[in-house]
């Protein structure tokens, strides 16, 4: 289920408070991650921190950070114990696989060029 669909389904229910409590428990960790120079620049961690700081889902939806999380996949395991999973959505997975394919092809091309060059030197 998309995270935006999940937020819509739990908004103004008791699960909303459980979800916000799960993120609030890790608020200090999110704040520490944001301070790390390179990793802290990732918008995903900023969005998690914004959700941890939000007092309601409707407040979180008004922030710019909502756009970064709304297309992620969300699986609820046990919110009372903090059990949930966030996975990249289909659009983000497609981008990741495309980038990985391009990098892999570039590496194969470089290996092929090196082998071809070394064979030509031996002759």
Q: Are residues 94 and 105 in the same domain?
A: yes
pLDDT score of 31 more than 80: no
The verdict on pTM exceeding 0.75 is no
Residue 45 has a CB neighbour count (10 Å cut-off) of 20
Same domain, yes or no: 12 and 29: yes
- Is there a single domain that holds both residue 25 and residue 38? yes
82 plus 106 within the same structural domain: no
**Residue 94 or 63, more confident:** 94
Strand, helix or coil for residue 42: coil
Q: Report the number of distinct structural domains present in the chain.
A: 2
For residue 65, what are the domain limits? 3-87
Tens digit of pLDDT for each residue in 50-89? 888 888 888 888 888 888 888 888 887 776 666 778 888 8
Residues 81 and 38 in one domain: yes
DSSP 80: G
Whether residues 82 and 94 fall in one domain = no
Q: Break the chain down into helix, strand, coil percent, rounded to 5.
A: 70, 10, 20
Dist CA 70 CA 65 (whole Å): 9
What percent of the chain has pLDDT above 70? 92
Residues 104 and 75 in one domain: no
In a shared domain, residues 51 and 36? yes
7 with 39, same domain? yes
Tens of pLDDT, residues 8-26: 888 888 888 888 888 778 7
Q: Are residues 19 and 78 in the same domain?
A: yes
Task: Examine the domain organization and report whether 34 and 73 are in the same domain.
Answer: yes
Q: Are residues 33 and 61 in the same domain?
A: yes
């Amino acid at each position: 289920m998309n995270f935006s669909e999940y937020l819509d389904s739990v908004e103004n229910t008791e699960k909303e408070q459980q979800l916000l409590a799960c993120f609030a428990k890790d608020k200090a960790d999110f704040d520490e991650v944001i301070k790390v120079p390179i990793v802290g620049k990732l918008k995903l961690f900023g969005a998690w921190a914004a959700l941890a700081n939000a007092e309601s889902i409707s407040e979180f939806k008004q922030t710019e950070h909502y756009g970064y999380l709304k297309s992620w996949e969300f699986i609820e395991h046990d919110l009372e114990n903090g059990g949930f999973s966030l996975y990249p959505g289909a659009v983000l997975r497609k981008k990741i696989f495309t980038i990985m394919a391009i990098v892999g092809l570039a590496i194969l091309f470089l290996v092929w060029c090196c082998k071809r060059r070394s064979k030509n030197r031996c002759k």
